[in-house]
Each structure stands twice: as structure tokens, then as C-alpha cells.
Structure 1
């Protein structure tokens, strides 16, 4: 069976699972057995059928599992976003269609040789820095949930950090391919790029007050640096620099102090200062309210979950129990309704997606392609860890999204562009071995 036929078969299997999940949510919401969910399923199926056809025409030899895995995660996310807010679910479906359109454009545009991107590596690097700084610019930057990650221009609202992540990977793939031998020698002057990227990460932390975005971008850089040089000592030096810089800025940035305090001690037995209203409150009723309610939601799911559509996310008067549930805390909704078994399966989907991406990096024939695939795959892995770890109190909370699952247009579009780039690398690698 050809790679594309395997992809189509896997997409059909993923579609069956997605239909069962969405139908369950629909029946629970309407309290009736009807066929109102079918048009949604047909629309989403048509979108991914188009994605498959474009893939078949442009990258016939590419990995057959990347698109089905992305499709299943997207369908799970769409199911839960719709279950939590039908209007957001409709918007999310539109963004999925836009994401697949961008996916198709990337494949068609770069189908002959994606390595042309390497010629413009410095342009991508400068653009990444500009995008990361946009949320801190007056007039267009917007602070949501205490961090500056969003840009608002007229009716358009987007998260430039998601796009900057891809630009950063393209820049680093091209730059490190050129400089990997000099960096591997470990001379002092060759640490300039490391210090520059570290400084940029610290600047982003200062401007946005978000430790997660700084950690994500710097983590991608360190992973790609290790892939290029094979020197663990440079990575350890980079981690030490980041930890030291974050510790210094911790004393200067109130928002970072608050996030770390909420992470280490979300519950208090005595009332403490509440940054939201300036009064004395129990921390679990103020600064850590979102995290504590999320932990209760996860605990309520147990091993098997309450069932799709049967979770408790609102009070009796309709007030949301967990603010920003569709975006930052969608994992807690998954954990309550799917249980430990269900979210373990979802995390295995991410693991499979990252593993296939790393396999693409291993079989790639040139340095730029290897670093590009490795950077994109590690970025997905680290972003998933940061958001899930924040919800589970493994790391401080951040404002980034769970790839393919969280509500958000920019994230969906960026993630599909990353899958397209991985397929381009995979197709070239397979074609070169024939």
C-alpha cells in the first residue's frame, strides 16, 4: 500500500473516532438523539479530504501519519471547544479551514525545494524578533490574563509568538548549519549567538511578563544547538544562563513572582495580599483561583472520566468555574471528561506526532533539513509540556496554547504550517533514497 493510501485509511479511522466524540458531546448538549452533528462532521471531513488531496499531489512520498495525527488532535480540540461554547466551536471550525488552507499553500509554494528558505534566514531571524516584540508596543499590544502575548489591529487579533516560533526555527536551521563546526569547537568568541539569543529571551520575559514564551523559544534554540553540535556542555551552559537570568528578573517583575508563588503555594490557610483587588484573601480564592479550580476539575475526572459533555465547568447560575478554559486550561476539561486514561491517550498522540517528526529529522539528507525538522518537532513537544505541566503544577503557569487542541486561530494556523514543513522535509528525504 502506498504512503498516501495509508494516510487516507488512517484519516478515515481518525474520522470515526472524531465522529463518535463529537456526536457524544452533541447528544449531551441537546439532550436528544438527532443528526444535527452530521453537517459539522461532513464539513471537517471535507476540509481534511482537501488536505489529503493536496498532500497526495505535492508530497506523494511524505510520512503518512503526520496529517492523520494532526487531524485527530484537531477534531478532539474542536469537540471540546464546541462542547464548552458552541459559538467558539463555530469559529474554531473556520480557523481549522484557514489552517488547512495555509497548509496547502505552504505545500504548493515550496513543493519543488523548501530549502530556498535558507537563503532568507536572516530575514526570518529579524522578523521573529519583531513579532516577539509586537505585543509590548503601545496601541496594538494587548494584555490578557496578566501577560502580553496578543496583538489587536482593528478587528484582527492574533498571537505573533506562534508565528515567530516558526521563523526562529527557520533562522536557526540555516544559521547553525553554517556555524555548527565553529560552535562545536567551543571557542569563547563562538558563544556570541548563544548570548544574543539568551538576551532576546530575557527581553521577551521583561516585555511580556511570560516565563513560558521565553522558555519555549530559548528551549528550541538549545535543542537545535545540541542537534547541530552534539555538545551537551553548551546546552548546560545555556540552561544555567536562563536560570540565572530568570532568577534575577524574578526579583524585578511582580508578574513573574506571582506566577512562581501560585505554582509553589496555591493554597493558604491565612489570608494574604490579593493582587487582583488589593485586599486580603485566601490565595485559592484570588491569585491561584484558576489553577486550584483546574486541579479540582482534573481530580473530578478520576481514571475513566465523567464522559464527554458531562463535566462540571459552570456554577448553577452559569458562571465559568475556570476562566479561559478553552485556551489556557483546555487540558483540565479533557482530564475531567476523559479521565486519566483518556488524557494519557491524547498525550500519546502528541508523543507519536513528535516521534514521527524526529524520524523525519533522522532520515533527512542535509543539515538544514535535519535541523528544521528537529526544531519544529521539539517545539511541539516543549510547548505541549509547558502548557500541560503548568496545568498539573509541574512548572509555573503560562499563557501559551495546547497545540491543535486549544481555541485560537493563530495557533491552529501556525501548527498546520509546521506540519506542512515536516511533510516537505519527509518527502525530499524519501525521494532521495529511491
Structure 2
């Protein structure tokens, strides 16, 4: 039996009930541990805030007390809600998200204070703080209203329809010069939203529900072709649709990051559900082939690939017409930071201009915190992914296992896509770094993602003797 065994037969259910004495279901309530970690997650950004003020002005920031009290109050409310509605949930996910969100706010405020950004890049710290508060409100709403994560299984195909609408919507709205060629935002007056951030969660719900029903057909009813096991045509249909969708997103919205994220997410979940390595090879062939064809035809994607191949071309004596300076500037910022960094508030990462606190905020952290600070940030992200996968292992139902794996994989893929683009490992995608970067849609969506993982964790860790929240029975698998 594999780690992510999704079997749901009566025999397996009986075996699991017989083994409850050695499963995570008997885990103790860890809310006091969460409270202690939350205190650290609030105090550390407050010290970072003070450090920036002392480095830039020689005095403590005037708003330091208000910032600390505000973040502390939001974290305390979220913790109290967890005690009441998810008492057995994982104790580390909420503090980790709070710490990353707080550090992101500090860096955005630091870049605002530099006063040397483009005029169109308005001071964003106050706006980002508002979105962070809204994100925590969404977090609380999910924790309170989502009585049982299995309810989401009822909306499998509705989730697919909603996700398709969200992904296609930006193509029907006019883009702005500040979008730099990517049509991934919806602008209504001064308000803008990036629906792809919410689509990743909704698509994960669809994938989980679909694969829970079709996993046997995809794993067993297959034919061998050139060493690969391929499923039947009627089972392969939705997979081809998702592949075509990712390519269409890349063509019409020039969004390389979302295309990679959605298709990569589906391939990972297919592998977990079927345990067939051939899906990894099959998915890589389809994604690389499709991206290569589009890159040859779409000028915007081609420009990003050229900038990736030669990030310093913009600084040469004869720079290309559509060259990009940001990747080269970020690489220089990383080099300037060295091992320990220049110190918070003492770098020059505002030279990256508009992207310093959005796409390339990792460059700002890399210069001022150095390699050591970057390793610490990636460790925080890695812990979130690890706790999410641990939740998947402990989940009692196959839908919960797939949903936890999907959400954790989506989070990990987004971190990889953004960090890889900024460091020059892969072409730049334009996505936002979860919790750190400026962007209201991103911070709200990622707080909702953390909330769903915590609800699954609460169900998985709840003692067997204690009843779970009342909910209607899960729908029978469709034939």
C-alpha cells in the first residue's frame, strides 16, 4: 500500500479503523504551540520594521507600534477562530503564513520609503496591509463556513466551469500599459483583480473530484505504447482538454506562468492518483512541445525566452529592441547581497523599478538578506509544502488526500515558477511570490488555500472517538 493510497473499499476502511491507535488521528490539540509560534511570527517582522527605520532614518518608525498591534490583533483573531472551529488542525501553517505575510509587508514599505520608484508605482504598503487583512478575513470565513472539506466534492464539475470562466475572463477586458503584455488582470476603474490566483484553488477541487472517480480507469484501463501506458480515449479526453486550455491561456493571455502551473498541477495529481510514472513523461512531452510551438509564434513569450537566454543583453552597446533589464538587475542584486546581505534598508534594489516589490521582490530580499536570508525564506516555503503533504498522508478520505496534495503542489509550483524566473533558472513568468509580493489577489487566494489545508488537517487529526462536524454524506462516485 503506497503512502498516498486512495483505496476506498470496505476492507481498507475496516483496516484503517483497526489501526487508529498508530495513526495521526490521535494527535493532541496543539493550539498552544500555534499561539507561541504566532507570537514569534508577529515579533520578527516588527523587529525587521524597526531595523529598516533605523537603517534609513536613524530612528524607529512612527508606525511601528500600530503595525505590531494590527498584525498581532489579526493573528490573534485567526488563532481564536482556529481554537473554536479547527482545534486539531496543524499548528504550524498559520504561523508560517503570518510570518511570510509580515516580512512581505516590511519589504514593500521599505521600497516605498526609498522614494525612487516610478511615479506610477504608487506607495503600496498601506494598500497591501488592507489586502492582507482581507485575506485573513477570507481565511476566517473558510474556517468557519466550511464545516467539512468533503462538501467541496459535490461541486466537481461546477468548479471546472467556474475555473474556465475565471481563466478566460481577462482576455475580454482591455489591458493597460502597466500589464507589460500579459492579459491576466481584470481592470474596473481603479480596481483590478487577477482571477488566475483563485482559479488554481478551484481547478484543484475539480481535479480532486474527477481523479477520485476516474483513478482506476486511468491506472488500469490502459494500453502500452512505446514503453508508456496510455489510458483509453474517453478517459484521456479531459486531460487533453486541460492541456489545450493551458496552451490557449499561453496564446491569448501570454501567461507562461499560469499555463505551466495548471498543467503541472494536473500531471502531479495524476501521478499521485494512478502511481504511473509514465504520466510524468507524458506530461513533460506535452507541455514542452506545446510551449515550444507557442514560443515560436507568440512575440511576448519569445521576448521572455530571449531575455532568459541572455539576461545581460539589455546592458550591451546595442541592446535588442524588446530586451528586459529586470533579470540582469536582479542577478546583480543577488551578487551584491553576497552571503549575509547588505542589511535591511541598506540595499539599492529599488533600481529594479516597478518590479522591485512585485515580480522581483526576491531580488530585494536577496540583496538585503543575502544567501542566508534567501535560504531561510525558501525553508519557510518548504515547511508549508511539507505540512500540506503531511496533511495529505494523514487524511482519512481519498478526496481529502488528493485535495491536500493538489493545494500543496500548486503552492510549491508557484514558488518554483517565480523563484526560477527571478534567478534565471527558467524563463520569467510574471506570477507573484506567495505572501511576499505586492498583489491583493495573490495574498487573498493564498490565505484561502491555507485555510482549506487546515480544515483537511483538522479532520485528519481529530481523535476517532470525537465526532466530526455534521455534514451530508458524500455523493456516490459517478459511473
Q: 1:158 to 1:415 in 2, by over 3 A?
A: same
Q: Does 1:128 align with 2:172?
A: no
Choose the corresponding residue for 2:83, options 56, 73, 76: 56
Match of 1:429 in 2: 460
Aligned pairs for 1:259-338 (under 5 A) are 259-268=304-313, 271-275=318-322, 287-314=323-350, 320-338=351-369
What SS does the aligned partner of 1:152 have? strand
Match of 1:43 in 2: 70
How far 1:114 sits from its partner (Å)? 2.1
How far 1:337 sits from its partner (Å)? 0.4
Contact 2:49–2:61 under 8 Å retained in 1: no
Q: 1:58 to 1:24 in 2, by over 3 A?
A: same
Contact 2:312–2:325 under 8 Å retained in 1: no
What SS does the aligned partner of 2:263 have? helix
CA–CA separation in structure 2 for the residues paired with 1:116 and 1:422: 14
How far 1:272 sits from its partner (Å)? 4.8
Q: Which runs of 5+ in 2 are unaligned?
A: 1-27, 114-122, 223-230, 466-479
How far 1:251 sits from its partner (Å)? 1.4
Larger Rg: 2
Q: Deviations over 1:173-219 (max 9, x none)?
A: 11110111111123331221221110000010001112111001111
CA–CA separation in structure 1 for the residues paired with 2:317 and 2:58: 44
How far 1:266 sits from its partner (Å)? 1.9
How far 1:89 sits from its partner (Å)? 1.0
CA–CA separation in structure 2 for the residues paired with 1:349 and 1:234: 30
Q: Does 1:7 align with 2:60?
A: no
Q: Which runs of 5+ in 1 are unaligned?
A: 276-286, 315-319
Q: Does 1:114 align with 2:141?
A: no
Contact 1:44–1:93 under 8 Å retained in 2: no
Please identify, of 222-231 and 26-35, the stretch whose mean Cα deviation from structure 2 is larger. 26-35
CA–CA separation in structure 1 for the residues paired with 2:461 and 2:176: 43
What SS does the aligned partner of 2:185 have? strand
What SS does the aligned partner of 2:297 have? coil
CA–CA separation in structure 1 for the residues paired with 2:41 and 2:311: 38
What SS does the aligned partner of 1:148 have? coil
Contact 2:56–2:345 under 8 Å retained in 1: yes
Contact 1:142–1:148 under 8 Å retained in 2: no
How far 1:419 sits from its partner (Å)? 0.4
How far 1:34 sits from its partner (Å)? 5.7
What SS does the aligned partner of 2:340 have? coil
Match of 2:274 in 1: 229
Contact 1:143–1:149 under 8 Å retained in 2: no
How far 1:140 sits from its partner (Å)? 7.1
TM-score of the superposed pair, with normalisation by structure 2: 0.84
Q: Deviations over 1:30-53 (max 9, x none)?
A: 331465311111101111111111
How far 1:26 sits from its partner (Å)? 2.4
Please identify, of 179-188 and 382-391, the stretch whose mean Cα deviation from structure 2 is larger. 179-188
TM-score of the superposed pair, with normalisation by structure 1: 0.93
Aligned pairs, number: 417
